[in-house]
């Protein structure tokens, strides 16, 4: 009997607003413990939260990108629970009326594309961090993260494999980065995923009992956890057992999950409307302004690059892998007027140079106008491909002025002068057999003769000019014969 894996993901994205969701404290990562707190985010009695409007705006941007309906007011609820990382003993969240609902995210798996439903996106505050010292057995509390704004993105149980989950998370990550609302550093916890998983017999229309694995902090870990948990559940059911609804902890280094607690329900949290925050209306003009300022997203760029410029799917993927690279490409393409060559330069030579020097795409800082000049020179046949690559590297590593560099190194090609003619004649004189082969129609003979000339003239030889001169000469000889 075959089984189908059913997965729904809950993703927490920490927003990159400068200040926290309900107070003015900074959200900067890595500060001295408890140095970024105030009475509001540390839960002092009598302090009152005030909603940071940037958080609402970020939520709406993501909602639009994920094809959601945007609510016309902000309504918060109080989720009560005690845990040492939560000094207020409640979290302000949205249960009944999330800001965004009913959207979808389109993923590509193999050749096909698939829409994964988004049930909702809601706003909430993050909790602090507990730091356990395993040697002393002590636990330290750092409240700097309390009140950092989070968006929780909840999918429908539409995901059917680890590969689909990975594609979903990658696309979501790309969208968050292009919207510039989350730095998506999974290793720093700014993007974390909870995996809800159940299995059912193929063809069945009812869902099985699910387990939830919390706070996975890499896309690889999510795939591995799905693989492992589905095998565990299937084995259990095949043996005639049942799956218990529970929260499990995934240990990525061991590659195993452990039962933590039986799964809690909404009732367990005694949710009620947050009394300290008034509902705030979101006007139509507010939403219209956000819509107007939506940036072009990576997958939209890929489609446009392919349609408008005819560049390959592979190149489009490389170019949009990072917002900075896409920006460079667009600037270069418009400056040099040759998008295909611009795409080739960035996805080829520039990527190679970045890899070799371990520069990340988001760190790349290179003058597009210098590269544009080189593209024009090479496409007009003024410099050779080799000289082109050499100068790109010099611009990349030393930020040289390409014109000065080319002049200094003598890389500008000779095209019409005596040197070319002289070498062509010499090659023809010295290689009568190749000339004979040429007249017998052997294509390779021409390449061979040109090679002789190129070798003699070096980098400054213009292959287009050499070829023309060679063919002219040979034509003359042929005419005489
Ligand atoms: P909770 O309130 O416990 O978080 P939800 O109903 O809000 O539960 O669902 C949380 C996530 O679990 C959603 O992403 C949803 O798609 C997923 N999910 C719900 N039921 C199942 C199931 N039977 N199998 C797999 N995933 C599920
Ligand atoms: Mg949940
Ligand atoms: Zn604060």
CA distance 142 to 129: 5
Are residue 48 and residue 145 in the same domain, yes or no? yes
Per-residue burial over 92-131, b if 16 or more Cβ lie within 10 Å, else e, is bbbbebbbbbebbbebeeeeeebebbbbbbbbbbbbbeee
Are residue 180 and residue 215 in the same domain, yes or no? yes
Q: What is the DSSP string of 306-350?
A: IIII---HHHHHHHHSSHHHHHHHHHHHHHHS-HHHHHHIIIIII
Query: Which of 261, 286, 311 corresponds to the end of one domain?
Result: 286
Are residue 398 and residue 445 in the same domain, yes or no? no
Q: What is the pLDDT of residues 401-415, one digit of tens each?
A: 999 999 998 888 766
Mean pLDDT confidence for 293-299: 97
Task: Return the structure tokens found at 356.
Answer: 């070799």
Task: Return the structure tokens found at 303.
Answer: 């489609």
Which residues lie below 8 Å from residue 172, measured CB to CB, with a gap of 6+?
11, 105, 153
For residue 406, the CA-to-ligand 3 centroid distance in Å is 57
Candidates 380, 376, 366, 364; CA nearest to 334 is: 376
For residue 303, the CA-to-ligand 2 centroid distance in Å is 34
Are residue 104 and residue 199 in the same domain, yes or no? yes
Residue 276 has a CB neighbour count (10 Å cut-off) of 13
Are residue 211 and residue 281 in the same domain, yes or no? yes
Mean pLDDT confidence for 448-462: 85
Model pLDDT, residue 380:
86
Domain-embedded: residue 38:
yes
Domain-embedded: residue 331:
yes
For residue 57, the CA-to-ligand 2 centroid distance in Å is 24
Please answer whether residues 111 and 130 qualify as being in contact, where contact means their C-beta atoms are separated by less than 8 angstroms: no
Domain-embedded: residue 257:
yes
Q: Which contiguous run of DSSP H or E holds residue 44?
A: none
CA distance 41 to 49: 8
For residue 294, the CA-to-ligand 3 centroid distance in Å is 30
Closest residue to atom 5 of ligand 1, CA basis: 154
* Residues spanned by the domain of 310: 296-409
From the CA of 196, give the closest atom in ligand 1: 26
Are residue 457 and residue 348 in the same domain, yes or no? no
For residue 264, the CA-to-ligand 2 centroid distance in Å is 9
Closest residue to atom 3 of ligand 1, CA basis: 265
Question: Cβ < 6 Å from ligand 1: which residues?
Answer: 6-10, 154-157, 196-198, 207-208, 210, 266
Predicted TM-score (pTM) of this structure = 0.85
The CATH number given to whatever domain includes residue 436 is 1.10.10.410
CA distance 159 to 170: 14
Which residues lie below 8 Å from residue 209, measured CB to CB, with a gap of 6+?
198, 242, 243, 244, 245
Domain-embedded: residue 397:
yes
From the CA of 9, give the closest atom in ligand 1: 14
Query: Which of 237, 261, 286 corresponds to the end of one domain?
Result: 286
SS3 18: coil
For residue 375, the CA-to-ligand 1 centroid distance in Å is 52
Are residue 93 and residue 209 in the same domain, yes or no? yes
Model pLDDT, residue 417:
67
Domain-embedded: residue 140:
yes
Model pLDDT, residue 416:
58
Domain-embedded: residue 303:
yes
Are residue 264 and residue 304 in the same domain, yes or no? no
Task: Return the structure tokens found at 306.
Answer: 């392919």
Domain-embedded: residue 291:
no
Are residue 16 and residue 113 in the same domain, yes or no? yes
Domain-embedded: residue 24:
yes
Are residue 243 and residue 101 in the same domain, yes or no? yes
Closest residue to atom 7 of ligand 1, CA basis: 154
Query: Which of 263, 286, 309 corresponds to the end of one domain?
Result: 286
Q: What is the pLDDT of residues 13-68, one digit of tens each?
A: 999 999 999 999 999 998 999 999 999 999 999 999 999 999 999 999 999 999 99
Answer whether residue 460 shows pLDDT above 80.
no
Q: What is the pLDDT of residues 257-267, one digit of tens each?
A: 989 878 777 77
**Closest ligand to the CA of 155:** 1
Probe residue for ligand 1, chosen from 104, 157, 264 as the CB with the greatest number of ligand atoms within 8 Å: 157
| Tally of domains in the chain | 3
Closest residue to atom 15 of ligand 1, CA basis: 8
Are residue 328 and residue 209 in the same domain, yes or no? no
For residue 196, the CA-to-ligand 1 centroid distance in Å is 6
Closest residue to atom 1 of ligand 1, CA basis: 265
Model pLDDT, residue 87:
95
Are residue 42 and residue 162 in the same domain, yes or no? yes
Task: Return the structure tokens found at 273.
Answer: 């409307």
């Amino acid at each position: 009997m075959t089984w189908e894996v059913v997965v729904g993901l809950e993703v927490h994205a920490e927003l990159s607003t400068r200040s926290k969701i309900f107070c003015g404290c900074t959200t900067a990562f890595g500060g001295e413990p408890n140095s970024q707190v105030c009475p509001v985010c540390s839960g002092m009695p009598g302090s009152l939260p005030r909603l940071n409007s940037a958080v609402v705006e970020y939520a709406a941007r993501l909602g639009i990108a994920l094809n959601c309906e945007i609510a016309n007011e902000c309504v918060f609820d109080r989720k009560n629970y005690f845990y040492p990382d939560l000094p207020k003993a409640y979290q302000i969240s949205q249960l009944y009326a999330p800001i965004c609902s009913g959207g979808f995210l389109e993923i590509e798996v193999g050749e096909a594309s698939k829409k994964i439903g988004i049930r909702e996106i809601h706003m909430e505050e993050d909790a602090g961090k507990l730091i356990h010292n395993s040697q002393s057995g002590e636990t330290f509390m750092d409240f700097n993260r309390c009140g950092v704004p989070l968006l929780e993105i909840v999918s429908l149980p539409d995901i059917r494999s680890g590969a689909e989950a990975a594609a979903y998370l990658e696309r979501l990550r790309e969208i968050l980065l292009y919207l510039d609302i989350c730095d998506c550093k999974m290793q720093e916890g700014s993007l974390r995923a909870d995996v809800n998983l159940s299995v059912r017999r193929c063809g069945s229309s009812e869902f099985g009992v699910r387990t939830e694995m919390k706070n996975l902090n890499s896309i690889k870990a999510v795939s591995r956890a799905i693989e492992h948990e589905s095998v565990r559940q299937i084995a259990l059911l095949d043996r005639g057992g049942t799956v218990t609804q529970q929260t499990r902890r995934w240990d990525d280094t061991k590659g195993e999950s452990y039962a933590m607690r039986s799964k809690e329900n909404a009732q367990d949290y005694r949710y009620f409307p947050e009394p300290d925050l008034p509902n705030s209306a979101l006007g139509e003009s507010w939403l219209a302004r956000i819509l107007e300022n939506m940036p072009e997203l990576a997958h939209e760029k890929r489609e446009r690059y392919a349609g408008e410029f005819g560049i390959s799917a592979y190149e489009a993927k490389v170019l949009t892998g990072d917002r900075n690279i896409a920006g460079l490409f667009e600037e270069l393409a418009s400056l040099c007027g040759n998008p295909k060559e611009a795409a080739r330069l960035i996805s080829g030579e520039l990527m190679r140079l970045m890899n070799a020097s371990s520069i990340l795409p988001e760190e790349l800082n290179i003058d597009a106008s210098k590269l544009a000049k080189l593209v024009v020179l090479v496409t007009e046949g003024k410099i050779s491909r080799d000289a082109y690559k050499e100068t790109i590297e010099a611009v990349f590593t030393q930020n040289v002025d390409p014109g000065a560099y080319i002049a200094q190194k003598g890389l500008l090609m000779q095209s019409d002068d005596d040197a070319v003619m002289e070498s062509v004649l010499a090659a023809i004189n010295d290689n009568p057999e190749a000339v004979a082969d040429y007249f017998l129609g052997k294509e390779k003979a021409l390449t061979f003769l040109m090679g002789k000339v190129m070798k003699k003239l070096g980098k400054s030889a213009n292959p287009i000019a050499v070829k023309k001169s060679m063919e002219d000469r040979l034509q003359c000889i042929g005419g005489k014969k």
